[in-house]
Amino acid sequence: MNDSLTARGLRLLLPLLILLTACAPTPEPTAPPETAAELFADAFATPTTAWARFDTTESAAYVQQGEFYLEDRGRGKSVYTQLLGQNFTDVVIQVTVRYVEGTQDNWMGVLCRQQDEENYYLFAISADGYYLMLKVENGSSTPLEGPTATEAINTGLAKNTLEARCEGETLTLRLNDTFIVTHTDSSFQEGAVALFTDAVRGGTTTAAFDDFRLLRP
């Protein structure tokens, strides 16, 4: 083949190739893959050794009829049950919680990055419609967000779904699929997770938990 003809043909085709490339449709971006992975789940269908259970004059933690019950019988501070033998850094905690009996001036919810009884983050709601995000450090309590009333909470005996996200320095609370609040704090990087309840001004209160899930963000 004549080299000069080949070169001339390429020169003629090049603008056409550039035009076709420019006019080609841009591929649709693909959705990012789902990154959340389930780390643990418990529907409390039967008593389990995964959680601390106890029965004292001041408090109780037990499984009954497909729910995990926590009773504050006048302990004077939070009653909690820890998911035993596991620590987490970044984690999403999801659970259904309902008030059962006792004072409605209460708190019920979850703890994340718990070091011990005096160091943790707390995410809570009350039966009378308030939410709270709290840090307990060396036994001293610091409200990070709230307590604040919100219509997102189903009050009284109704069930609520609570989601607490502890990711890096960002703490986020969602209630009944509604974003509530986010806060930044760097005090604790890892720790245990737990369920808890607390009769705020003395007296007694009981909360029941169900459909517990732990997810990796």
Whole-number Å distance between alpha carbons of 111 and 133: 10
pLDDT in tens, 22-69: 444 444 443 334 456 999 999 999 888 999 999 999 999 999 999 999
Kindly give, in sequence order, each residue whose CB lies less than 8 Å from that of residue 124, ignoring residues fewer than 6 positions away.
Answer: 107, 108, 109, 110, 131, 132, 133, 134, 196, 198
Q: Which is nearest to 125 in space by CA: 88, 162, 92?
A: 162
In the structure encoding, which two tokens stand for residue 162, read together? Answer: 């609570």
Domain residue ranges of the chain, discontinuous segments joined by +: 37-216
Beta-strand ranges (E) seen in the chain are: 37-42, 54-55, 59-64, 67-72, 79-82, 91-102, 106-116, 119-125, 130-137, 140-149, 159-167, 170-175, 178-184, 192-199, 205-216
Kindly give the confidence (pLDDT) of every residue in the chain, 217 residues in length, as a single tens digit, with 9 standing for 90 and above: 444 434 444 344 444 333 333 444 444 443 334 456 999 999 999 888 999 999 999 999 999 999 999 999 998 889 999 999 999 999 999 999 999 999 999 999 999 999 999 999 999 999 999 999 999 999 999 999 999 999 999 999 999 999 999 999 999 999 999 999 999 999 999 999 999 999 988 889 999 999 999 999 9
CATH homologous superfamily of 37-216 equals: Exo-inulinase; domain 1 (2.60.120.560)
Whole-number Å distance between alpha carbons of 137 and 140: 5
The alpha carbon torsion through 192, 195, 196, 197 (nearest 10 deg) reads 170
